Structure 1
Amino acid sequence: MSVAFAGYAAVFDRVDRAGDLMRRGAFAGAGAVPLLWQHRGQAIGTIEAIGEDARGLRVSGRVDDAELAALVRGGAVAGLSVGYRAVAATQGAYRELTAVDLVEVSLVAVPMQPLARVDLVGG
């Protein structure tokens, strides 16, 4: 059984565990991307809506893999993450990403950006 979800796959202006900092506008023009598990393998569902808002990259989608859907529904898996290629960045105390080519969004056990989380789970 599938489950619908929504959350932030990236949060702006917050340093992640790798020392990267996403800036507003970095995902401008992002189109359809697959939903993966831990950045690997086949798609486990679909991203139905994706776009930037004031906080970050907001996504909503559906997990079709029954085992992962149950984990998301139960709150055991709530991390989100983005796979990307840097297009424009500056290096200072942190690597500030101002433009990226979004490749995929993943559900993850431990997100690189601690605030990138599923915050809504539906039917």
Structure 2
Amino acid sequence: MKTKDFPLQVKDVSDDGTFEGYGSVFGVRDSYNESVEPGAFVESLVRHKREGSSPLMLWQHDPWTPIGVWEDMAEDKKGLWGKGRLLGGVQKADEAKILLKAGAIQGLSIGYREVDTTPSENGGPRKLVKLDLLEVSIVSFPANRRARVESVKSEVMEEFARRLRDGDPMPVKEFEDILREAGVPKAMAVQIASVGYAKAIRSESEGEANSKATAALKALRAATDQFKTL
């Protein structure tokens, strides 16, 4: 069995230990000069579903230390998406939950067998075309910086929405940081925040908005319009 690591960013783990996000992303060259290709997990996931099984959730690839269950897993255009749940009462799972919340560990790693690969050409990455997915572990040392775990519920976005509703929008720089955290390129995040969003919240301060609710809707609409036009 081989393993491949991916960093994750845990914004939140729910009280019952549930989280979701991406354990692998497609077409990204990692530190081993390999890239996982779209469709690499399809046959393995179909087989798991047919057999009523799922990839294991382990701690640091230790087969004697399962810490949770992957309740759902599928491929989409971005990569391998999964929804998992750490099992409360299991010592290592409780420890993992604490460590993830604190950001003390930030890695996922898939354990797999190679079924079909394409050799490296002209210095390009070796392509992993088909993999037999055995397990997805929470680990200490990630390698691929593009994979992310996203929370079931983002506290940051909840705070952003609440402040808009209350007529107290966050500063432009904070909104820009949220966009960049979500994966928006820096230049695009700056333009969205400093043009559409800034104009909306500035209008409120100048008395052009009729109410706090109207200002909030304008800010959201302006930001959304910027996304559509970029």
Q: TM-score, normalised by structure 2?
A: 0.50
Superposed, 1:1-123 pairs within 5 Å as 2-29=16-43, 30=45, 31=48, 32-41=54-63, 42-64=65-87, 65-92=93-120, 93-120=124-151
What RMSD, in angstroms, separates the aligned Cα atoms of the two structures?
1.7
Which deviations, in whole Å up to 9, do the C-alpha atoms of 1:12-61 show, x marking residues without a partner? 00011111100000001313111012222321111011010110000111
Pairs aligned (count): 122
Q: In structure 2, how many angstroms separate the alpha carbons of the residues matched to 1:117 and 1:109?
A: 14
Q: In structure 2, how many angstroms separate the alpha carbons of the residues matched to 1:121 and 1:39?
A: 24
The DSSP-based 3-state class of the residue aligned with 1:67 is helix
Q: In structure 2, how many angstroms separate the alpha carbons of the residues matched to 1:102 and 1:19?
A: 20
Question: Aligned letter for 1:47?
Answer: W
Deviation at 1:114, TM superposition (A): 2.0
**Structure 1 residue ranges (4+ consecutive) displaced by more than 4 angstroms after TM superposition:** none
More helix by share: 2
Q: In structure 2, how many angstroms separate the alpha carbons of the residues matched to 1:73 and 1:67?
A: 10
The DSSP-based 3-state class of the residue aligned with 1:66 is helix
Q: Give structure 1 stretches of 5+ with no counterpart.
A: none
The DSSP-based 3-state class of the residue aligned with 1:70 is helix
Between 1:47-56 and 1:86-95, the stretch displaced more is 86-95
Question: Aligned letter for 2:129?
Answer: T
Question: Aligned letter for 1:111?
Answer: P
Q: In structure 1, how many angstroms separate the alpha carbons of the residues matched to 2:61 and 2:102?
A: 21
Larger radius of gyration, structure 1 or 2? 2
Q: In structure 2, how many angstroms separate the alpha carbons of the residues matched to 1:4 and 1:89?
A: 33
Q: Give structure 2 stretches of 5+ with no counterpart.
A: 1-14, 49-53, 88-92, 154-230
More strand by share: 1
Question: Aligned letter for 1:105?
Answer: V
Identity of aligned residues (%): 39
Deviation at 1:71, TM superposition (A): 1.4
